[in-house]
Amino acid sequence: MNKVKLAIIGAGVRGRYTYGKFIKNNNDICEVVAVVEIKIGRREKFKEIFDLPENKVFEDINVFFEKEKMADAVIVCSNDNTHFHIATAALEKGYDVLVEGPVANNLDKLFHLKDLCEKNKDKIFMATMPFRYSNLFLKIREIILSKEMGNLININYNSYIGYKKFAHNFVRGNWRLDNDTAPLILTNSCYDLDILEFLTNSQCEKISSFGKLNHFIRKNLQLDMSELCIRCSKEKECPYCAQKIYLNDDEMSHALHINPTEENVKNILKEGQYGQCVYSCDNNVSDNLISILKFKNNITATLNISAFMKKENRNLTLMFTHGEVYADLQDNTITIKKFINEKEVVIKLDKDNSEERLIRDFIKKIKNRNICDLKSSVLSTINSHVTGFACEFANVSETVVDIDEFWGESCEMTKKIEKLLF
């Protein structure tokens, strides 16, 4: 095989700037041969960038699958609620598949995911779990397995979304309604749950969780505010002002418009949902969530997800019987503190692009057909997805949830419902 031929399903921020950029920069090993995108602006821009003929550019995913197989693999980076069905159709058509998380956004789909994996053992079927490729997390796992700090007892894991990203994604944006996508624990943190399993080398046994939507609610819309930021008297003092977020930050403006000129951004803020006051949206996603996890090997963990930090980051403290380890994903540093001496050891790791490593691994696996050694297989993510749904149930019901019992009952319920329906 020469170049691996790829079809991109969803030409938004991820499709264009993560996968598209990698493919463009590595066109000696892979190439885009088709794109599916429902938005005309994104579709036309992607077509232009990759010089695609008209017959390889699709608005409708069904039309794409009606055509003869035209690529070696598809990368699924469309809306969360489409991941499972598109991946299923792609596998049936004979494509290898890389699909973004969450792979399944409800329990019914998750119930069928294992069967889907079993039926497609001859395919490269991978999920985008980039932390498994991260220098930082690989080094932490090495420290854990070495036992140089003794036995791992507890992990305190913080996932800080950042106030700008939260407002964009979960208040104004596509992930603001969990019934349309999935709970926050999955849309933001399926990667965090996955890496906790990876580090503990175990599955979650029990989970409790507490969180709610506290701040971004209509009760906080004051009389001297406007429902559109562009007309609001609080512009100078409000950190969530749309003009501040989108006109002063290149990354945020690119998330807003395919061609983010000042004029284009301002036009969107005058008319669309992204110019709306954060206290007048129809969002329902929790802006904070704290979960306590007990793993089957008796390691415990807390997972703290919060909107209320200035910058997006993840950090974690690991507590061992002979010391502690602190790691910061933003700084890419690990600090080791052994109990037997006062000296701290700081490991500064080179900045790496774990997502690029994952995509490169996907390309490599397609070429060599090494199906038995998938570092980020979809099959290996099922347990952490189950934990995510159990976490949401624990939060809603205010109970401690036994994961195996929860999953067993969920499977039985799905079987009964499908028997009645089909």
Tell me how far apart the alpha carbons of residues 11 and 285 are, in angstroms, rounded to a whole number.
Answer: 25
At how many degrees (to 10) do helices 135-146 and 190-200 cross? 30
Place of tokens 């998938």: 374
Average pLDDT over residues 288-314: 97
Using an 8 Å Cβ cutoff, are 264 and 258 in contact?
Answer: no
Question: In the prediction, which pLDDT does 251 show?
Answer: 87
Residue type, 125: F
Question: In the prediction, which pLDDT does 372 show?
Answer: 83
Mean pLDDT of the chain: 95
DSSP 252-283: HHHHH-SS--HHHHHHHHHHSGGGB-TTSS--
The predicted-structure confidence for 242-272, as pLDDT tens digits, reads as follows 999 999 888 899 888 888 899 999 999 998 8
More confident residue, 370 or 25: 25
Which tokens go with 29? Answer: 């090993």
Tell me how far apart the alpha carbons of residues 252 and 272 are, in angstroms, rounded to a whole number.
Answer: 15
Tell me how far apart the alpha carbons of residues 114 and 128 are, in angstroms, rounded to a whole number.
Answer: 17
* pLDDT band for position 1 (cuts 50, 70, 90): low
Question: In the prediction, which pLDDT does 259 show?
Answer: 86
* pLDDT band for position 280 (cuts 50, 70, 90): very high
pLDDT for residue 140 is more than 70: yes
pTM: 0.94
